[in-house]
Structures are given as C-alpha cells and as structure tokens.
Chain A
Amino acid sequence: MLLLKILFRNAFRHKLRTILTILGMTIAILAFGILRTVVDAWYAGVEASQANRLITRNAISLTFSLPISYAEKIRQTEGVEKVSWGNWFGAYYKEEKNFFANMAVDPKSHLEIVDELILDPAEKSEYFKDRRGAIAGRKLAERFGWKIGDIITLKGTIYPGDWDFVLKGIYMGRDETVDESIFLFHWDYFNERMKVQNPMEADQAGFYIIEIERPEMAAAVSGRIDAIFKNSLAETLTETERAFQLSFVSMTEAIMMAIQLVSVVVIAIIMAVSANTMAMSVRERLAEYATMRTLGFGAGTVFLLIFGESAVITFTGALAGVALTFPAAGLFRSELGQFFPIFIVKATTIWLDLGAALVVSLVSAVVPAFRAATAPINSALRRAV
C-alpha cells in the first residue's frame, strides 16, 4: 500500500541518522536487559529460597558457630520436621581466584531437606559411604573439568591446610533457578580433623537448616527455637531461608538500586535521541505532510505515518537488542559464572524491553505528529519554499 511505502521509505530516507538511532536503540535495550538480569541474578538466591525452610545461626553473627548438640533440641521443637547442619568452608581450588561456594554438611539430612539437588541414586550412595566423598554441581564440575572418581584438593582459608576429597557425584538443579556451582562434603570428615587440628572449633555447626511442617508456621517455630537457647552461651537467630538470603544481598541493595536506576536512565537517553531524530525528520518534511493534507488526507493519516515511522525505527533497534541479549547473557554466564551462578534472562525482562520500546516510539513521535497534523496547511506549505 502506498501509505506503507511512504512510511517505510521515510524511515530510511536519512540513512545514517536512522541507522545510528537504531544502533543506539539496540545498545540501550541490550544494556537494559543485561542490567536487569544482573539484578535478577543477584536476587536469585532469595528467589529460589523455599518457604518451608528456616536457617538458624549464631545471634551474634554468621562468623560465630553453634554447638552441634543443638541439633537434637531443634529436632524436638514443635513444628520441626527435619534438621540438618553445616559449616561454610571457604576453601579454593589450586589458586585463590578459583573460589566457589563449598560447605561441610551432613550428607543424608542435607539432601533430604535440600531436595532441589538431583543426584543419581548410585552416586548418592557412593557419596554417603565414603567419608572423604564430595559432590559438586554440574557447572562447577564443568568449570574445572572434574570427573567422578577424581581426587580434589582444596586449600583451606578459614580452616587452613590441604583438604583431599573424592568426587562421588555431580548434581543437577531441579530447575534453572538452582545454583549448580556448589561443592559439598561430609561434615564428619571436617569435624574429625578439627578435633585434632583445632579442638576449639570441633563439634560446632555454622548453621542449621530446618524443614518445617507448613510455611505459615515459620514465625512461630523460629520463635520457639530461639527461646530454647535464650540466655545460653550461644544464642540463636532463626529466620526463613528467604530472610537469610536477603540479609546477604541487602548489604548490596544500594548498588542494585543504582544498577536499576542506570537501566532506566539508558532508556531515557535513547528516548531523547529518538525524539530528536523524529523531530528533525518531521520538521524537514512538514511541507510534504501539508501537501498530503491538501490532497484530502486527514490527521489520522499523518499520525499513522509518523507514529509508524517511529515504531519502525525503535522496534527494529529493540528487536535486535532483544536478540542480542541472549548471546550476551551466555557470555556473562561463561565469563562471570562464578559471580553469577544463576544468570537467566527472564520473560519479564523481555516484556520490559518491548514496553520500553513502545514508550520510546510513542514519546518520540507525539510532538512531531501533532505538529505535522495540526499546523496550518498554508504556512506548512510555505516552508517548502
């Protein structure tokens, strides 16, 4: 149709200007999408946390531990289904830059509660049997090229020395929100060495993981647990897994807010660029729109042509940006996987991309379109002269 031909050819009349605007839009949408995904990745642990899980830790701070004897008392608390425990180990593999989450846990009870880690039954029983046995997430094993049966030596930081483990299993996440880059091994193995090496640190758990009967009971059960250990040498702080995860990320909340703000600013900038492009293009063509109105085309046609042109430019850029977001996220995963174990572009992000493109295209076109549709025809025609 003739009007569509006018619309599309107008969009590419000033090739350099249009291409630069499209390119700007592509970069803006790409940046917007990646920044939002960074924020999502940061909160991934919170997002993935289970509503029926509590974490108990030392009330003073996470760096203080709790006696292992608490396990039994917690287990007997009303509303508690299962209890497990562990210690943050903080070791690295070969070089300090190779860090990743590694923890000493009670294998059986841990996997019973944290059932989003999927392990082959044969591997599982091998892991349970061998005191030096360990399991690693699929991504972590891939990262270091570990295979089942490998002897893996970690260098301790909190608990110094070389620690040898035998890789007995590689777990997968139940879904893509599960972190597949954690290393887990027997708490008993860890504790026995502590008894020899540093008796003060023996028989201590860094945290307890608790499964409760029903999520609604979280507050009541937490209260009960903390009450038991009130006025003891090691008082406890029990909270939901979500609150526990949030307490980590809340330290960085200001940074996350800043990133989100930047993502909006990026869109605001491209909006200004795109609005400028549309304003310049339409100003140059005021006489053409006036001519069409002379021929009997109404304001609706002028709106269609200008809003359409703006949409062609912004959406061409935005769709390219959306398409590039996925390989860019892949690059992030492969290069920065240790910082962002879960780096997934969410559907919401894509919808926000498209929403941003729509807003940019409408805002860019609205003033020029009104001007071209309502300027007195005779004075707009004079501009041709």
Chain B
Amino acid sequence: MAEPFVKIRNLSKSYWRGGRQVPVLAGIDIDVAEGEFLALMGPSGSGKSTLLNLMAGIDNADTGTIEIGGVEITSLTEAELTAWRSDNVGFIFQFYNLVPVLTALENVELPLVLQGLSRKERKERAAFFLGLVNLSERTDHYPGQLSGGEQQRVAIARAMVTDPLLLVADEPTGDLDRRSAEEVLELMEKLNREFKKVIVMVTHDPKSAERAHVIRHLEKGYLNAAP
C-alpha cells in the first residue's frame, strides 16, 4: 500500500486552563490517503478543531508527529511552518474569515501576494477561481454585501488559489442554510474529485459527513476505531 498523504502518530495536546492542564487529544494515530475526503465527527469540545489546527500547522502539538506530503511539520520552526502553510494548506472556516475591507476578488488574490506572481497573473488566477465557485458577477462586492453561502464560496476560492495539497475545513456549513450548505458541499466534492485535493472536514452534521469517503469519530480526545 502507498504511503498515506497525512500520517499522524501518537499525537497529544493539552491546554492550560485556570492553572490546570486539560488534555484535549491523547495519543491520536490517523492516516489520510492521497485523494481522500475525510470527515471528522464528534461532540462539541471533543477536540476536532484542535486536531484540524494541528494538521494545518496553526497550533503546536505536545508530543507525537505529523507528516504531510512527506514533510514532518511537527519539527518545523515557526517561520518554516508559516511558509509551509502558505504553499500547502487551504483553510475554510465556519465563519468564512474574509478580510472585510477587500473585495471578493481581492480576498481570493490575497494569498498570492506571498507567491511572487505579477499583479496580472494574480488577478487572472483569482478571477479563475472566483469563476470556479460561480461568483464571477460578485468580483467587486465586499464580504458585507454577500450572503453567507457566497462568502463561504469566496473563502473556498481563496483556499484553492495557491493550489495547495490539503484543504482543511472546520464546520464549513455550520453557519449556512440547507441550500447554501448543499452548494458548498458539492463544491468541496468537486474539488476532491476533479482537482484531487485531500480534504479534511470537521462537521457534526451527519448529512454533511455523508459526502466524505471516510468518517472518523472523536470522543473525548480519542479516535474511535476506523469503520
């Protein structure tokens, strides 16, 4: 069997709260294969976001290793990790997290500022991905002028624009109505199917999770056995 794309071994993480150490993840092992669409489920507070953040390199593990696309990100320095993120991970958040003072197109363009492209190349790329999420007509709209579903699609275009290996999504439909949620999920399926993106999506909606190839359940910091 081929090497998994994401390989996590013995991952532990705890937070300090009120002078007490609160374990959140305890000895997690998980693999995500190339081309896989994984859904992470579990009750609120079970550590889903924490696991996702560790995978995406925006939080530091206490112990254990995370290897993504052959890079052991748990041993990178802060600066290396920042650079790695910008090239390899696309983020989709529950609350979209667009920059409110930039237009839809500019939001999609923003990550490309770090890629050393010309202004023209940036604009073209951003416009292409905005088209991919069916928002070509909204180019000059600011986030405040867009619906939640539209904002989330802009966020997806922003996550895709640098052509990352991995897309992480933390409850991407958690704030959306049913119809917008369907659109977002279809889009994510398409990115996985046609663009071969590895997707890790946190959700506690079973209907959303059905879109994934694999569903894993987190329970109080432990992963339940794979189905």
Chain A residues near B (Cβ < 8 Å): 1-3, 5-6, 9-10, 13, 287-288, 291-298, 376-378, 381, 384-385
Contacts and interface: CB of A to CB of B under 8 A. Distances in A.
Interface class of chain A by DSSP: helix
Contact of B82 (A5, A293, A378, A385): A293
A287 B93 CA distance: 12
Contacts of A294: 56, 58, 85, 91, 97
B101 A298 contact: no
B186 interface: no
B111 A296 contact: yes
B155 to A, nearest CB: 10
Given A5-B106, A298-B82, A287 B97 contact: yes
A292 B59 contact: no
Interface residues of B, number: 28
A378 B106 contact: no
B113 interface: yes
Contact of A2 (B94, B97, B106): B106
B79 interface: yes
Contacts of A295: 85-86, 91, 110-111, 114, 158
Nearest to A298: B82
Given A5-B106, A295-B110, A10 B101 contact: yes
B176 to A, nearest CB: 15
A2 B58 contact: no
A2 B102 contact: yes
B109 interface: yes
Contacts of A384: 93, 95, 97
A2 B59 contact: no
Interface of B: 49-50, 53, 56, 58-59, 79, 82-83, 85-87, 91, 93-95, 97, 99-102, 106, 109-111, 113-114, 158
A9 B109 CA distance: 17
B129 to A, nearest CB: 14
Contacts of A288: 97, 99-100
Nearest to A380: B58
Given A294-B58, A295-B111, A6 B93 contact: no
Contacts of A1: 113
Contacts of A293: 58, 82
A13 B143 CA distance: 14
B97 A297 contact: no
Contacts of B102: 2, 5-6
20 contacts: A3-B113, A6-B102, A9-B101, A287-B97, A288-B99, A288-B100, A291-B91, A292-B99, A293-B82, A294-B56, A295-B85, A295-B86, A295-B91, A297-B82, A297-B86, A298-B82, A376-B59, A377-B58, A378-B59, A384-B97
A296 B59 contact: no
Nearest to A296: B86
A163 B33 CA distance: 109
Given A6-B101, A298-B82, A381-B97, 13 more contacts: A2-B109, A6-B102, A287-B97, A293-B82, A295-B85, A295-B111, A295-B158, A296-B82, A296-B83, A376-B59, A378-B49, A378-B50, A381-B58
Nearest to B101: A9
Given A3-B113, A294-B85, A296-B114, A377 B59 contact: yes
Given A2-B102, A2-B106, A295-B110, A381 B87 contact: no
Contact of B79 (A13, A298, A376, A385): A298
A291 B97 contact: yes
B113 to A, nearest CB: 6
Contacts of B50: 378
Contacts of B113: 1-3
Given A5-B106, A13-B101, A384-B97, A296 B79 contact: no
A292 B82 CA distance: 11
A381 B93 contact: yes
B58 A378 contact: yes
Contact of B99 (A291, A296, A377): A291
- Counting from the closest, the 5 A-B pairs by CB-CB distance are A296-B86, A9-B101, A377-B58, A291-B97, A295-B111
Contacts of A297: 82, 86, 114
A1 B123 CA distance: 12
A203 B102 CA distance: 85
A5 B49 CA distance: 32
Contacts of B158: 295
A3 B79 CA distance: 20
Contacts of B100: 288
Contacts of A2: 102, 106, 109-110, 113
A264 B87 CA distance: 49
B73 to A, nearest CB: 14
A5 to B, nearest CB: 7
Contacts of B79: 298
